[in-house]
Amino acid sequence: MKTIISLCDYTGNMVKPWIENGYQAFLVDPQHGTTRTEGGITKFAGTIEDAMPAVSELIRSGKVAAVFGFPPCTDLAVSGARWFEEKRSKDKLFQAKAVMVAEQCRTIGRLAGVPWFVENPVSVLSSAFGKPQHSFHPADYTAYEPADNYTKKTCLWTGGGFIMPQPAKDASLGAPDDRIHKAPPGPERANFRSATPMGFARAVWEENK
């Protein structure tokens, strides 16, 4: 059975359409708490580096169908640039470490030889990876999920034959909102802001299945 590898993925939104269509998934994120398998989804509780033996085994098996990477954007997104100097005073390598995680995602995609992408908002990752191949707003795919009628420019670095889905908007919804920028402070703010929009996830499935 084919497997989707999704890195730095807590919600699992990206793999839901694949699971619904008979694939398995291997999610990597320290926030999973404990490593377990639930209904075709293995949730690995650890870093990408911790998961490398399992990821390597999956790649060697030839069963990987796609690789998706969502490296944390906290230390990369230009929206947080006003805090960069403070962070650099505490750890001069803070951004290099963040880019390293993104590079791990990209390398795994390249090694797997399947469609892959690395996702980030507008960020300094462009300085390391170059200009992204694609960008989108969640509202671009409201025909797949009306609840995603909001803005958040998201960039994708892609390869392995990944096909970017064309926008499919529900014109009846009106102008998108900016809920991401208005998200209140709190422990779940980062997860809320970084959750993969389901409309995009479904559109990717339709183009790359």
Per-domain boundaries in the chain: 3-208
Tell the burial category of 66 from Cβ atoms under 10 Å away from its Cβ (0-12, 13-18, 19+): buried
d(CA 47, CA 57): 16
- Per-residue model confidence (pLDDT) at position 83: 46
Pick the residue with more confidence: 24 or 194? 24
Q: What is the mean pLDDT of residues 50-65?
A: 98
Pick the residue with more confidence: 35 or 92? 35
Structural tokens at position 105: 């995602």
Could you tell me what percent of the chain has a pLDDT over 70?
A: 81
For residue 5, pLDDT over 80 is answered with: yes
Quote the crossing angle between the two packed helices 48-61 and 94-112, to the nearest 10°: 10
CATH code, 3-208? 3.40.50
d(CA 2, CA 25): 8
Residue range 86-116, pLDDT digits in tens: 555 665 455 556 789 999 999 999 999 999 9
Residue range 141-200, pLDDT digits in tens: 999 999 999 999 999 999 999 999 999 999 999 999 988 776 666 555 555 556 899 999
Pick the residue with more confidence: 61 or 79? 61
